[in-house]
Amino acid sequence: MARNKRSLLFGVYQRHRPCSFSTVSLAHGSVTTECKLSYEGKNREPIRPASLDEITSKRYDKIAQDRRSPRPFIVSHRLRRGLLPRPAPLQELAPPDIAKIQITPNSAILGIGVEEQFLATVLNGQGEVLTGINLVWKIDNPTAATVSSDGWVKGLQEGTATLTASFGDDISNPAEITVVVPPEAPPIASIEVTSTHRILFVGNQARFTATAKDPNGRTLQGILFSWSSSAPEIVSVDQRGLATALAPGDAAVTVTVAPPDPPVFTPLDNAPPSQSAILTVTDDNSPPIALMTTTARRGEAPFTVAFSGTRSGDPDGWITFYTWNFGDGSPPFYAPTARHTYERPGEFIATLTVTDPDGATTIASAAITVDP
């Protein structure tokens, strides 16, 4: 649409715009209609009037006559400079009442490439925790370590640095960071594998453990292991070394060193060491083995004896029940160990019955002599 002389006088660019609900004051009366009014100055920057009063247009005449049936319409309008709005004053938010910013931990030793997160707690004058405070993390020696916007610190090179968190003029306690070069770990020469069982009945489980050794036979700590089975359909094994017998047959359970990043050891020959153990699964249950030990077998009444069945076992499973009978008419006792007092003289036969998960039992016995 072309600009006319009056438009140039007031520096207003005429535009057609859809409108939203507004009340427009005209010579013919008041009209309520749905409008979205938009105004542009001579540089076409958008401006909004403080009100819609005194906005004149030839096309408003017809709208005023039809004010009983408000409906969306398009208008061509001009806005006088004197009606330009003044921006509303911004409401300033009161600054938070911060009494203390506490960083934890207050010190840390990091290896090169290692990350650790520091936490900051903001407290007010009453000791209450303030939330939603955007803190600025800063480290005074960025060559030694860096810090992210959420407090994660990463060691870059050997050195020291001081970490702080702040909000405006409020600054936290300093956290001292020391970045070190990790010492070279000794090489792994071998792995020793032990297990609770080497023969399992179908459905039973065995626990495998692994120990890494250096060339001098010393145990290495902090080594991660990965477990696998050569025949998963016969024996399954999880990453904690727990093997489950699934079907009859033999399977090799293998443990391999799983190098972490960064590595905490040096494997010999540049290969992660491994070790295997054969596990046999059978569908014929083997009975448990009962073994009993006592502190004494003869003494004067009252005679107290301590019994133990902890050396008992099951070749393809485990012991589910320990049952003690002391032979003097007292009630049975159920536990791996027992302690019993014989009150009267006599010859007594104490027995230990062990039971495996499939109900097979084995009995061990001992003669107890009680003198008057």
Tens-place pLDDT, residues 295-319: 999 999 999 999 999 999 888 778 9
pLDDT (tens digit per residue) in 9-21: 333 333 334 333 3
Residue located via tokens 């069945």 = 309
How far is Cα 99 from Cα 119, in angstroms, rounded to an integer? 17
pLDDT value at position 330?
95
- Percent share of the chain, pLDDT over 70: 70
Q: Is the pLDDT of residue 47 over 90?
A: no
Element (H, E) at 10: helix 5-10
How far is Cα 65 from Cα 68, in angstroms, rounded to an integer? 8
pLDDT value at position 11?
35
pLDDT value at position 86?
54
pLDDT value at position 68?
41
Q: Give the residue from 343, 349, 355 showing the smallest Cα distance to 317.
A: 355
Higher pLDDT, 250 or 2: 250
pLDDT (tens digit per residue) in 157-210: 999 999 999 998 899 999 999 998 876 656 788 888 988 878 888 888 889 999
Q: Is the pLDDT of residue 291 over 90?
A: yes
Q: Give the residue from 162, 181, 184, 161 showing the smallest Cα distance to 172.
A: 162
CA distances from 12 to 46, 83, 203 (A): 11, 12, 89
Helix (H, G, I), strand (E, B) or coil at 270: helix
How far is Cα 122 from Cα 120, in angstroms, rounded to an integer? 7
pLDDT value at position 127?
86
Higher pLDDT, 115 or 93: 115
Beta pairing, strands 129-130 & 119-123:
antiparallel
Hey, what domains does the chain have and what are their CATH numbers?
Answer: 5-83 (no CATH), 100-180 (2.60.40.1080), 187-282 (2.60.40.1080), 293-371 (2.60.40.10)
Which of 59-68, 76-85, 174-183, 350-359 is predicted most confidently? 350-359
Q: Other C-beta atoms within 10 Å of 351: how many?
A: 16
Higher pLDDT, 226 or 353: 353
pLDDT value at position 94?
66
pLDDT value at position 54?
38
How far is Cα 369 from Cα 372, in angstroms, rounded to an integer? 10
Strands of 124-260 (E only): list them: 129-130, 136-139, 145-147, 152-155, 159-167, 170-171, 175-180, 187-188, 190-195, 199-201, 205-213, 225-229, 235-237, 242-245, 249-257
How far is Cα 246 from Cα 231, in angstroms, rounded to an integer? 10
| Cis peptide bond prior to 288, omega within 30° of 0 | no
pLDDT value at position 114?
85
Among 180-184, 263-267, 319-323, the least confident range: 263-267
Helix (H, G, I), strand (E, B) or coil at 35: strand
Q: pTM here? A: 0.39
Mean pLDDT in residue range 110-133: 89
Q: Is the pLDDT of residue 56 over 80?
A: no
> What pairs with residue 75 in β-bridges?
17
Q: Is the pLDDT of residue 331 over 70?
A: yes
pLDDT value at position 28?
36
| Cis peptide bond prior to 105, omega within 30° of 0 | yes
Q: Is the pLDDT of residue 112 over 50?
A: yes
Mean pLDDT in residue range 242-271: 72
Query: How many residues can be counted in the chain?
Result: 372
Q: What is the mean pLDDT of the chain?
A: 76
Q: Give the residue from 184, 174, 186, 178 showing the smallest Cα distance to 111.
A: 178
Contact status, residue 40 vs residue 13, Cβ threshold 8 Å: yes
